[in-house]
Amino acid sequence: MTTDRGPFRPIVANSQPANDTPSYGSTHLRHPTQVPLRIPQSITETTGPRFTPARFGPMADLSVINGKQAQGERIIVRGRVVDENNRPVPHTMIEIWQANAAGRYDHPGDQHDAPMDPNFHGGGRVFSDADGWYQFTSIKPGAYPWRNHHNAWRPNHIHYSLFGTGFGQRVITQMYFPGDPLLALDPIFLAVPDQAARERLIAGFDIDITSPEWALGYRFDFVLRGRDATPTEQA
């Protein structure tokens, strides 16, 4: 038995990137140098915000604006949100953002010389269903250069933000695409020490999610921290 209020398990060793990752230049002046204080998990850490579709409206199709199709390769992303105990996380909000097919964000800070697409914004929001499943439609984001090092290019990726059921479960991550040659060169992806944990950030192509004459399908699952098991009550 697990409860919805119990403390979260400790973070699995090597499954998370180090804040001090010298190959990623922006970490130099932004990573704390003091060891973090390990605090006991109280109600502040074990509970968290709840979002409802009524108040935070879903936007599950990023591929079209006012009936006009965005440029690029249309994709469907589908997957499941579970916790470390392999229990589905139902009705949880997933925020999504990404570059357009040419590798340009609809953002004033993005000065990359690639075309904007008037029919693509790149922000979305979906909720998992009662069994933890989610799905949205978009276009495959393009790769783009960044100035981290000479000839640095970010692999194709989609950003995600999930809340789960407690402050300690919050995750912001990126999903990558299978077979991308830029992955082997990307300091952000490579910052995850454990190879298996790293590779779980790569979506799988899925012919069953692929929609004939319409869009390619990718499968991407999220795992949120699990709560400690509590002793089963004896009958």
Question: Which of 2, 27, 71, 210 is in the footprint of other proteins by CB under 8 A?
Answer: 27
Nearer to other proteins, 108 or 181 (CB): 108
For 17, which DSSP code?
A: -
Question: Which of 1, 4, 37, 233 is in the footprint of other proteins by CB under 8 A?
Answer: 37
Chain Cα centroid distance, residue 165: 16
Nearer to other proteins, 171 or 216 (CB): 171
Q: Is 21 in the site for other proteins (CB under 8 A)?
A: yes
Q: Which of 24, 105, 160, 218 is catalytic?
A: 105
Beta bridge partners of 171: 162
Question: Which of 1, 42, 113, 232 is in the footprint of other proteins by CB under 8 A?
Answer: 42
- Cβ 32 vs Cβ 82: under 8 Å: no
Q: Is 150 in the site for other proteins (CB under 8 A)?
A: no
Q: Is 232 in the site for other proteins (CB under 8 A)?
A: no
- CA geometry: angle at 154 spanning 65 and 206, to 5°? 65
Q: Which two tokens stand for residue 177?
A: 């695409």
Longest dimension (CA), the chain: 67
Question: Which of 3, 5, 22, 49 is in the footprint of other proteins by CB under 8 A?
Answer: 49
Q: Is 156 in the site for other proteins (CB under 8 A)?
A: no
The Cβ-side half-sphere exposure at 123, using a 13 Å CA radius, reads 3
Q: Which of 78, 80, 154, 227 is catalytic?
A: 154
Beta bridge partners of 92: none
Q: Is 191 in the site for other proteins (CB under 8 A)?
A: yes
Indicate the helix (H) or strand (E) that contains 199: helix 195-199
Q: Tell me which residues in 61-100 interact with other proteins (CB under 8 A).
A: 82-86, 95-99
Nearer to other proteins, 98 or 137 (CB): 98
Q: Which two tokens stand for residue 151?
A: 């000839």
Active site residues: 105, 144, 154, 157, 159
